């Protein structure tokens, strides 16, 4: 309606103008970008007048002007163009992208769009082309190495397992260090709910497979990802933004860019998914100990050759043909396996590990539809994504369906409505992966990998029946049946997480005037995660002899998480003088988080194989809930002086619901400054230096208690147990007991502050760009789950102590080494480099040590004066001069006091992303290198300690451990044999001996793409069509670990959280390769 | 057009109103609620019940002795270490050859972190609950609750002194006022325990408003509680006899009163009811850990099995269940797979001392003191816990694998067993020790005889719990009498130190299931000297007390770690260094 009025007015005006000023004429034309696509919304003014117009959505314009006047064409991101009006009345213009991208606009906190040059802090951007058509469905893993300062670790190579993201290092050890996810302007829960259910401490022990909930995002539906790394960037998000912010704009949410016609793009991919970390097994020796045969876990038995010192010919266990009694030929198996009675078993190596895994497949289809109304005021986007990722481990898969729809309507009466709604259904299935240290699973779970990795070479996993035909229980080669057959595990045990998730937002903007608007945005994120953890009866966990594992377990529970987010803001934009401009934002943010868990845990299966609660003897409740509200008032004001200086001041005050009234509020300010010398001093700008910007920022933030530490740190609790014990009639006796945690009403929020300086520069016509950021970050009043001496009456309390300090450098170097016009040869390289370290500078007076992740005797510790997260564990005893101490048997003596045994923090991380293009071909690859950092690896120590990999071929000689004798201090001269060396020391000696340097170099991604030339497509419905062959994690080398282990340190044994540097046989890593096709219509 | 426009304006006004009010409603109610500090997943302390507290205190008391780490959702799982279902009694048994000790050196045999859970259970699980129950019980006039709590507290603090030496007490369990309690001397804690016991006797005999809902020990028979309290006093006086010149007088006065546990029927034991295997697991902790389909994890002690076998001890079939008739390297051929040491030669100090090595005849398959080998696939072969006190299988020469679903008999008594705490036979051993110390050899002999008779009868009463067992293999009354008579005759015939050795051997065998008593006896007397030494020829000085737990040392600035394991507790005035001799 208004449009028509406006249109009418313009027509009338044009007519009037045409008749009144006969010497003027109407200039018309089309403006396109450098690729020939029409540009809508280009500003066109007649220089020196107030006469101006814009191009319409076909890039067409019409303006009245006289000959001799000049038309000025400006458009964001394009070079301004001037055209003198001469005789012709048609001026078509192809604008060129402004290579300096000075006015590049990026999305910052709360969706505020700002020119990049105005920012006083670092923002990393990753575009859709770096996210689409990838072999991984996990946005976190795809981001690996794409931005400096962002450290991403996967839990394991299982499809759908969790992913750890830490930006600029850890700034707390009790609060979450995972970044805030903002999708289309509203918070998005990215938590990881582990599939283990024994409380947060036990999660990683009994199975830590839970997906990180950003898995619910389809990377193909993402338009762009911006990473706000520093606090100055994220102040407006308040405490939630203290770990950095991953700002995601989905294609649905990006609706409104004003595409001219409806465009449909379809991406379809197919990848293979294979185990990447197969160890280099030796095939010379088999099952046994000390070159003697036995049905052990270990592989220190006789040689597969008959002769020689270690030959099987020396052993009475073998018959003349070199066969053994079949492991199922013993009396205890006579009823179950009559067929094996008297059978013989060949003494030979089997590819038991390789045969266990399969080649998985990943199919991925994504459809995106975008369009806009004729006038561009209504736009929409809809997308659908389907992912089926079948893991290389049997029993592991990931299935995901995504729908999203979004749009924006600019209404005629100063209102703009926008909204986006996404639905994701994700199903993750996995065999159980409980913690293992090389001899089956620990705790109350099972582990498919814990029972597989040590398998002796002479045992044919796939060839041995895994199930007792009489009662369904697990059977395996070991004589007391104390190992759960990994195939039994695959077939009788598993975990599932099925998630239904809806997230979206609705926004309403009202333009009070040209300079002032009011925006209200409501965000909702709701997921319901249905979990299942089961195992049929007849399993074995010989480490714990857990009765529940033997009797059968069936646990179902639902996690429902809801975030409501209200945001109302008033935004203004005024020019104070001709050169000084200002923008401001003032807002209110209310956020409510509700988490509820409920379900049933059963054990004691009655009829084998029936997995329903009714079929189990005992039931227990699973229930937990948590809610928290955070309210914030925020403001930000920005001044700019002539595009030379930019000053931004911001502040936010938060109130949180789970602290005592006096301590629940905190104000945190930030300030940042940007200065562009190349604009200030025109002379500076030359052939060499094209653009230079200095920036500095100071930001602060707060950490409020959350689920990661304690949702209710003020509360004093009394625990009630209705099943504590039973009297002799079997009646339950109820007990209550004081809680573990002393409530602390004086607990305050923790405070983080950060100073960041940086520079951005472009050289030689943008051939080289260099960005550097330096930051120093201090966390004070750390919210610490402080262990108390239990003799006080409590086990722990939450308190504010100490200080940790982190600093780092981030470097981004862009090289456009070869650049040619149109479709010639292009080569560009981006290198990023990150080094940071975090040190515990104070722990308060009462505490020497806080082990905050892992176990008390093997975990990440905070120790004053040490890097945060050093690995604390058992050590080899030292004598007064620091020599290692050896006992009379020739083995290392364990120190009675634990100590620091490693530092998992890497020295630096660097990534190189290369892309080449020539005509319609392009080739890209990404290399990552991590230098230093230790890892406690059960995978490596198991492979060595069990005598499985090539490093253990040297086993017929004796070993003498370097050190001194405990009794008399003489240099150790006691000889020990192979199994004592590898088994008793390398694998089961003090934890110090299982720590390795985790430096790794990796070929993260490779891709070759071909897009069909336009001329081939003219007569087809396709707008574009491209084919990409790509691979992920195709090669890596952990350079300082034993080669035969082929160990991939990209694993997080303690799950998603603050623990790092541990591998508890959590699973191999994967490599993926395949083909994808993208077409637009 | 204008009409439409007006209508639309109205619509927009309406939308504006709705949005604004919706926002206000949403923002002013739930989202703005800022008082959410109570944890809905727990009760609040004001909802506590004295009965429920006392139930928890009693159960934690049992787990103070053994079984603290199994199935407890709050346990602090550790890798490695000696923490699997232990408790002070298990530690004591490992140190006195009642169970094997798996380290070749004493200094690192237990780490500071190994006893974090025992310490936590004693203070937080027991003492702090008592502190929180007491005001509720006092207010309600529940004196019996208070009496039982005082008894438990006295036992716990005394045993903590026995294992750690000086411990926090006067400032303990007083959070939040005191978070870093200082150490009190062991002697002062002992005095405090006696005071508590006097108060307990008052509370067992005065008027009460109500009995506890559950008395696991005596089913609310308070004359028995008085006997138990006096018995605990006897134990205290005995333990400090080396440092308390009045100990013997105080001890004898109670014995003279007769008001203590004299009859096995009055024994204070924790009964593991074995009514449920999970949710909750009420089986004996050692049973739960060993009677599993993959078989036993624990080894039996070669020293003790040999002692019993050589001496024709009638209890051997109750204590141990043999799964096979012969162990490798004994009647059977050596087997490197199943028993590495069956192919090895004994270390010289075993040979010279004449100690058994590796395994024993007749299928008794256990481990030597200090053997730190890994675990071969022997769970269904090695000797398992028997029917006493663990509730396992009575050894009726059936020689079958334990805990196999196909064989209902293989589960024995299903974990229906006890943790012996204060028993009539124990008192008789104490009387014997006191008599020996005062030179009353005849008194010692008769007390020893009484102790053995009571204990053997107690053990024999457990055979019926294994309903599938063939009880014809039980020893006859004559067998028992002959055995006891032999021991007493040997005792009477022996010279002084040899008398101590015999008393010590019988003390150890009789206390199977309670390592607190044996560890104390060993450090008080240094006997028996006949124990199998550590496999390591130079294992270092014996463990005279435990390290302070890691969590206490790192969290509490008022506790500093001991230099090593040789620190002696206050009542241990025996020589440092090579005492006791049999290490």
Asked if B25 reaches chain A (Cβ–Cβ under 8 Å), the answer is no
More confident residue, A936 or A1021: A936
Over residues A662-669, the mean pLDDT reads: 91
Measure the CA–CA gap between A348 and B40, rounded to whole angstroms.
Answer: 60
Instruction: Single out the residue of A73, A78, A72, A133 nearest to residue A103, CA to CA.
Output: A78
Residue carrying structure tokens 């000797």: B383
pLDDT band at A195 (very low <50, low <70, confident <90, very high): low
Measure the CA–CA gap between A120 and B543, rounded to whole angstroms.
Answer: 63
- Interchain CB contacts (distance < 8 Å): A and B: 372
Q: Measured between CB atoms, which of A295, A717, A893 is closest to B42?
A: A717
pLDDT at position A202 over 80: no
Q: Measured between CB atoms, which of A478, A566, A655 is closest to B27?
A: A566
Instruction: Single out the residue of B119, B126, B111 nearest to residue B78, CA to CA.
Output: B111
- The token pair that represents B191 in the structure block: 């005095």
The pLDDT score that the predictor gives to residue B80 is 34
Over residues A743-754, the mean pLDDT reads: 93
Share of chain A above pLDDT 70, in %: 94
- Best to test chain B binding among A792, A849, A947, A980 (most B CBs inside 10 Å): A792
The pLDDT score that the predictor gives to residue A32 is 81
**DSSP letter (8 states) at residue B392:** -
List of E strands, B483-532 = none
The pLDDT score that the predictor gives to residue A20 is 42
Contact A715 B38 (CB under 8 A): yes
A474 by Cβ neighbours in 10 Å (0-12 / 13-18 / 19+) ranks as buried
Secondary structure element (H or E) that encloses residue B499, with its range:
helix B496-510
**8 A C-beta contact, residue B151 and residue A760:** no
Measure the CA–CA gap between B80 and B69, rounded to whole angstroms.
Answer: 13
Q: What is the pLDDT of residues A434-457, one digit of tens each?
A: 888 888 887 677 889 989 999 999
Contacts with A628 (C-beta within 8 Å, 6 or more apart), sequence order: A592, A593, A656, A657, A658, A704, A706, A711, B36
Measure the CA–CA gap between B19 and B22, rounded to whole angstroms.
Answer: 5
Give the residue on B whose Cα is nearest the Cα of A548: B278
Backbone phi, psi, residue A1076, to 5° = -135, 150
Distance of CA A850 to the CA centre of its chain: 26
B46 by Cβ neighbours in 10 Å (0-12 / 13-18 / 19+) ranks as exposed
Q: What is the pLDDT of residues A773-786, one digit of tens each?
A: 999 999 999 888 88
pLDDT at position A6 over 80: no
Tell me the torsion sign for CA atoms A146, A152, A157, A163: negative
- Best to test chain A binding among B6, B40, B383 (most A CBs inside 10 Å): B40
Over residues A238-253, the mean pLDDT reads: 84
> Starting at the edge strand that comes first in sequence, how are the strands of the sheet with A995-997 ordered?
A995-997, A934-937, A1062-1063
Over residues B439-443, the mean pLDDT reads: 96
The pLDDT score that the predictor gives to residue A474 is 93
Asked if B138 reaches chain A (Cβ–Cβ under 8 Å), the answer is no
**CA R_g for chain B:** 28
The pLDDT score that the predictor gives to residue B81 is 34
pLDDT band at B538 (very low <50, low <70, confident <90, very high): confident
Secondary structure element (H or E) that encloses residue B431, with its range:
helix B424-437
- Best to test chain B binding among A790, A849, A967, A987 (most B CBs inside 10 Å): A790
Q: What is the ipTM of this complex?
A: 0.92
The pLDDT score that the predictor gives to residue B336 is 77
pTM of the shown model: 0.87
Q: How far is A266 from chain B (nearest CA, A)?
A: 37
Asked if B479 reaches chain A (Cβ–Cβ under 8 Å), the answer is no
The pLDDT score that the predictor gives to residue A237 is 83
SS3 string, B201-213, reads HHHHHCCCCCCCC
Over residues B432-441, the mean pLDDT reads: 96
pLDDT band at A203 (very low <50, low <70, confident <90, very high): low
Per DSSP, the three-state class of A304 is coil
The pLDDT score that the predictor gives to residue B72 is 41
Q: What is the pLDDT of residues A677-728, one digit of tens each?
A: 988 888 888 888 989 999 999 999 988 988 777 889 999 999 998 988 899 9
pLDDT at position A369 over 50: yes
Measure the CA–CA gap between A230 and A168, rounded to whole angstroms.
Answer: 8
pLDDT band at A249 (very low <50, low <70, confident <90, very high): confident
**DSSP letter (8 states) at residue B67:** -
Q: What angle do helix axes B496-510 and B302-310 make, rounded to 10 degrees?
A: 110
Q: How far is B350 from chain A (nearest CA, A)?
A: 15
**8 A C-beta contact, residue A525 and residue A515:** no
The pLDDT score that the predictor gives to residue A289 is 85
Contact A620 B73 (CB under 8 A): no
Alpha helices by DSSP H, listed for B29-142, are: 50-65, 88-95, 116-120, 128-140
Over residues A184-199, the mean pLDDT reads: 70
Measure the CA–CA gap between B486 and B313, rounded to whole angstroms.
Answer: 10
Backbone phi, psi, residue B56, to 5° = -65, -40
Q: What is the pLDDT of residues A281-339, one digit of tens each?
A: 999 999 988 888 888 889 999 999 999 889 999 888 899 999 999 999 887 788 889 99
Measure the CA–CA gap between B56 and B383, rounded to whole angstroms.
Answer: 34
Give the residue on A whose Cα is nearest the Cα of B294: A482
Over residues B272-280, the mean pLDDT reads: 90
More confident residue, A962 or A443: A962
> Please, what is the average pLDDT of chain A?
87
Give the residue on A whose Cα is nearest the Cα of B6: A413
Q: In chain A, what residues touch B286 (CB-CB under 8 Å)?
A: none
B577 by Cβ neighbours in 10 Å (0-12 / 13-18 / 19+) ranks as exposed
Indicate the range of A609-618, B7-16, B228-237 predicted with least confidence: B7-16
The pLDDT score that the predictor gives to residue A349 is 95
**DSSP letter (8 states) at residue A578:** S
**Element counts in chain A: helices (H) and strands (E):** 11, 54
Q: What is the pLDDT of residues A720-739, one digit of tens each?
A: 989 888 999 999 999 999 98
> Please, what is the average pLDDT of chain B?
91
Q: Which of residues 202-221 of A touch B (CB under 8 A)?
A: 202, 205
The pLDDT score that the predictor gives to residue B84 is 54
Contact B374 A659 (CB under 8 A): no
pLDDT at position B288 over 80: yes
List of E strands, A373-475 = 378-390, 397-410, 415-430
More confident residue, A1070 or A101: A1070
Kindly compute the dihedral angle of the four CA atoms of residues B323, B324, B325, B331, in this order, to the nearest 10 degrees: -140
Over residues A620-649, the mean pLDDT reads: 91
- The token pair that represents A792 in the structure block: 């006080």
Burial state string for A615-626 with b = 16 or more CB within 10 A and e = fewer than 16: bbebebebebeb
Helix %, strand %, coil % for chain B, to 5?
Answer: 50, 5, 45
pLDDT at position A669 over 60: yes
Q: In chain B, what residues touch A656 (CB-CB under 8 Å)?
A: 34
Instruction: Single out the residue of B290, B367, B282 nearest to residue B94, CA to CA.
Output: B367
List of E strands, A474-545 = 493-513, 516-535
Alpha helices by DSSP H, listed for A298-364, are: 352-356
pLDDT at position B15 over 70: no
pLDDT at position B290 over 80: yes
Asked if B153 reaches chain A (Cβ–Cβ under 8 Å), the answer is no
Instruction: Single out the residue of A58, A62, A55 nearest to residue A15, CA to CA.
Output: A62
């Amino acid at each position: 309606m208004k449009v028509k009025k406006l249109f009418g007015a313009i027509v009338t005006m044009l007519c009037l103008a045409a008749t009144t000023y006969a010497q003027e004429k109407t200039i018309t034309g089309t403006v396109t970008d450098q690729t020939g696509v029409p540009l809508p919304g280009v500003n066109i003014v007649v220089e020196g007048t107030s006469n101006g117009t814009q191009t319409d959505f076909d890039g067409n314009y019409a303006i009245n002007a006289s000959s001799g006047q000049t038309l000025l064409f400006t458009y964001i991101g394009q070079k301004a163009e001037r055209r003198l009006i001469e005789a012709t009345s048609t001026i078509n213009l192809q604008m060129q992208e402004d290579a300096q991208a000075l006015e590049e606009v990026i999305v910052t906190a709360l969706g505020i769009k700002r020119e990049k040059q105005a920012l006083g802090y670092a923002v990393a951007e990753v575009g859709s082309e770096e996210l689409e058509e990838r072999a991984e469905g996990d946005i976190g893993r795809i981001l690996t190495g794409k931005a400096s300062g962002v450290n991403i670790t996967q839990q394991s190579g299982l499809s759908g397992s969790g992913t750890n993201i830490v930006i600029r290092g850890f700034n707390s050890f009790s609060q979450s260090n995972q970044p805030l996810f903002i999708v289309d302007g509203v918070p998005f829960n990215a938590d990881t709910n582990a599939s283990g259910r024994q409380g947060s401490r036990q999660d990683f022990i009994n199975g830590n497979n839970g997906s990180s909930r950003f898995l619910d995002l389809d990377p193909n539906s993402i338009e762009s990802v911006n990473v706000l790394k520093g606090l100055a960037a994220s102040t407006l998000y308040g405490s939630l933004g203290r770990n950095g912010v991953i700002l995601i704009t989905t294609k649905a949410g990006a609706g409104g860019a004003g595409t001219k016609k409806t465009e449909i793009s379809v991406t379809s991919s197919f990848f293979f998914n294979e185990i990447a970390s197969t160890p280099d097994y030796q095939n010379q020796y088999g099952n046994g100990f000390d070159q003697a045969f036995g049905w052990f876990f270990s592989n220190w038995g006789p040689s597969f050759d008959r002769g020689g010192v270690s030959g099987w010919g020396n052993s009475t266990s073998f018959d003349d043909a070199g066969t053994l009694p079949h492991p199922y030929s013993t009396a205890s198996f006579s009823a179950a396996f009559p067929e094996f009675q008297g059978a013989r078993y060949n003494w030979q190596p089997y590819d038991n590990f390789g045969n266990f895994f399969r080649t998985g497949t990943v199919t991925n289809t994504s459809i995106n539809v975008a369009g806009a109304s004729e006038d561009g005021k209504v736009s929409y986007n809809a997308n659908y994504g389907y992912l089926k990722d079948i893991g290389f481990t049997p029993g592991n898969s990931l299935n995901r369906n995504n729908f999203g729809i979004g749009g924006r309507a600019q209404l005629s009466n100063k209102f703009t409505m926008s909204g986006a709604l996404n639905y994701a259904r994700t199903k993750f299935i996995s065999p159980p992966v409980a913690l293992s240290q090389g001899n089956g699973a620990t705790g109350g779970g099972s582990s498919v990998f814990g029972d597989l990795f040590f398998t002796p070479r002479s045992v044919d996993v796939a060839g041995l029946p895994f199930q007792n035909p009489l009662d369904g229980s697990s059977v395996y080669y070991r004589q007391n049946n104390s190992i759960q057959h990994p195939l039994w595990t695959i077939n009788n045990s598993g975990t599932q997480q099925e998630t239904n998730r809806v997230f979206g937002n609705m926004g309403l903007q009202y333009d009070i005037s040209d300079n002032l608007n009011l925006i209200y945005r409501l965000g909702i994120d709701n997921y319901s995660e249905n979990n299942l953890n089961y195992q049929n009866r007849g399993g074995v966990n010989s480490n714990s002899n857990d009765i529940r594992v033997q009797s059968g377990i069936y646990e179902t529970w639902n996690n429902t998480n809801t975030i409501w987010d209200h945001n109302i803001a008033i935004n203004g934009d005024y020019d104070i003088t001709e050169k000084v401009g200002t923008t401001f934002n003032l807002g209110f943010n209310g956020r409510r988080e509700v988490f509820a868990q409920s379900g049933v845990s059963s054990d004691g299966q009655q009829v084998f194989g029936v997995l329903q609660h009714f079929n189990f003897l005992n039931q227990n409740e699973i229930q937990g809930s948590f809610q928290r509200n955070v309210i914030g008032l925020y403001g930000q004001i920005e001044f700019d002086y002539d595009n030379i200086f930019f000053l931004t001041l911001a502040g936010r005050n938060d109130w949180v619901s789970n602290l005592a009234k006096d301590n629940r509020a905190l104000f945190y300010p930030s300030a940042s400054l940007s200065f562009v010398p190349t604009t200030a001093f025109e002379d500076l700008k030359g052939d060499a230096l094209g653009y230079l910007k200095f920036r500095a920022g100071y930001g602060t933030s707060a950490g409020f208690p959350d689920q990661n530490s304690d949702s209710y740190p003020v509360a004093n609790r009394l625990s009630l147990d209705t099943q504590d014990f039973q009297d002799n009639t079997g009646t339950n006796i109820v007990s209550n007991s004081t809680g573990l945690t002393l409530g602390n009403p004086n607990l305050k929020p923790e405070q983080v502050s950060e100073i960041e300086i940086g520079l951005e520069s472009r050289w030689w016509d943008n051939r080289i760009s260099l960005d550097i950021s330096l930051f120093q970050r201090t966390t004070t009043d750390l919210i610490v789950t402080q262990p108390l001496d239990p003799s006080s009456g409590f086990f722990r309390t939450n308190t504010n102590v100490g200080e940790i300090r982190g600093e780092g450098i981030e470097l981004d170097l862009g090289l456009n080494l070869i650049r040619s016009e149109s479709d010639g040869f292009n080569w560009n390289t981006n290198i990023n480099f990150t080094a940071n370290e975090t040190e515990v500078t104070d722990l308060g007076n009462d505490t020497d040590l806080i082990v905050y992740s892992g176990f008390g005797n093997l975990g990440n510790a905070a120790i004053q004066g040490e890097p945060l997260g050093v690995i604390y564990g058992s050590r080899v005893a030292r004598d007064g001069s620091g020599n290692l101490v050896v006992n009379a048997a020739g083995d290392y003596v364990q120190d009675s006091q634990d100590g620091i045994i490693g530092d998992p923090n890497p020295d630096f991380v660097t990534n190189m992303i290369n892309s080449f293009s020539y005509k319609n071909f392009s080739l890209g690859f990404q290399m990552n290198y991590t230098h230093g950092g230790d890892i406690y690896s059960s995978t490596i120590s198991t492979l060595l300690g069990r005598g499985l990999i090539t490093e253990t071929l040297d086993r017929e000689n004796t070993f003498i451990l370097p050190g001194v004798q405990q009794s008399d201090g003489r240099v150790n001269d006691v000889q020990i044999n192979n199994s004592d060396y590898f088994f008793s020391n390398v694998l089961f000696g003090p934890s110090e001996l299982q720590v390795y340097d985790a430096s790794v170099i990796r070929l993260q991604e490779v891709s070759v793409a071909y897009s069909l030339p336009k001329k081939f497509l003219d007569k087809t419905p396709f707008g574009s069509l491209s084919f990409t062959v790509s691979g992920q994690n195709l090669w890596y080398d952990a350079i300082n670990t034993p080669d035969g282990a082929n160990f991939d340190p990209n694993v997080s044994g303690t799950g998603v959280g603050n623990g790092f540097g541990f591998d508890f046989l959590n699973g191999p890593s994967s490599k993926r390769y395949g083909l994808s096709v993208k077409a637009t219509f | 057009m204008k009409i439409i426009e007006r209508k639309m304006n109205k619509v927009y006004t309406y939308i504006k109103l709705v949005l604004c009010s919706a926002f206000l409603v949403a923002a002013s109610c739930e989202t703005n609620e800022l008082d959410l500090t109570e944890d809905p997943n727990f009760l609040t302390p004001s909802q506590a019940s004295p009965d429920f507290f006392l139930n928890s205190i009693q159960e934690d008391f049992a787990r103070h002795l053994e079984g603290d780490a199994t199935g407890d959702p709050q346990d602090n799982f550790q890798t490695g270490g000696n923490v699997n279902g232990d408790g002070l009694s298990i530690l004591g048994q490992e140190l006195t050859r009642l169970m094997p000790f798996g380290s070749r050196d004493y200094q690192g045999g237990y780490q500071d972190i190994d006893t974090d859970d025992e310490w936590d259970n004693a203070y937080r699980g027991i003492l702090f609950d008592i502190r929180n129950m007491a005001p509720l019980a006092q207010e309600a006039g529940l004196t019996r609750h208070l009496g039982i709590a005082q008894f438990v507290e006295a036992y716990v603090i005394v045993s903590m002194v026995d294992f750690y030496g000086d411990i926090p007490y006067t400032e303990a369990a007083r959070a939040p006022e005191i978070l870093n309690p200082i150490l009190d001397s062991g002697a002062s804690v002992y005095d405090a325990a006696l005071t508590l016991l006097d108060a307990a006797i008052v509370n067992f005999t005065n008027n009460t408003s109500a009995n506890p809902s559950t008395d696991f020990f005596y089913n609310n028979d308070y004359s028995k509680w008085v006997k138990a309290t006096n018995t605990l006093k006897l134990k205290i006086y005995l333990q400090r006899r080396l440092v308390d010149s009045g100990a013997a007088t105080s001890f004898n006065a109670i014995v003279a009163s007769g008001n203590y546990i004299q009859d096995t029927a009055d024994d204070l034991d924790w009964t593991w009811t074995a009514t449920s295997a999970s949710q909750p697991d009420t089986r004996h902790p050692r049973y739960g850990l060993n009677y599993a389909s993959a078989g036993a994890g624990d080894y039996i002690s070669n020293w003790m099995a040999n002692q019993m076998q050589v001496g024709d001890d009638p209890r051997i079939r109750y204590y141990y269940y043999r799964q096979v008739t012969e162990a490798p390297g004994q009647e059977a051929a050596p087997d490197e797979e199943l028993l590495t040491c069956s192919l090895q030669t004994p270390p010289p100090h075993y040979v010279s001392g004449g100690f058994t090595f590796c395994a024993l005849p007749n299928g008794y398959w256990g481990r030597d003191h200090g053997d730190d080998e890994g675990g071969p696939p022997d769970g269904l072969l090695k000797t398992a816990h028997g029917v006493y006190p663990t509730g396992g299988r009575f050894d009726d020469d059936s020689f079958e694998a334990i805990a196999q679903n196909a064989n209902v008999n293989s589960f024995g008594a299903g974990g229906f067993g006890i943790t012996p705490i204060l028993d009539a036979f124990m008192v008789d051993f104490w009387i014997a020790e006191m008599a020996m110390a005062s030179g009353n050899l005849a008194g010692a002999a008769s007390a020893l005889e009484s102790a053995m008779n009571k204990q053997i009868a107690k053990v024999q009463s457990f055979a019926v719990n294994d309903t599938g067992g063939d009880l014809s293999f039980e020893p006859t009354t004559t067998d028992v009498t002959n055995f006891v008579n032999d021991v007493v005759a040997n005792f009477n015939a022996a010279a002084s130190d040899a008398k101590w050795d015999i008393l010590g051997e019988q003390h150890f065998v009789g206390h199977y299931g309670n390592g607190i008593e044996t560890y104390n006896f060993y450090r008080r007397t240094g006997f028996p000297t006949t124990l199998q030494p550590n496999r390591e020829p130079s294992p270092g000085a014996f463990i005279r007390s435990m390290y302070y737990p890691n969590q206490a040392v790192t969290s509490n600035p008022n506790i500093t770690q001991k230099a090593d394991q040789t620190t002696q507790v206050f009542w241990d005035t025996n020589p440092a260094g090579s005492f006791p001799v049999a290490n």
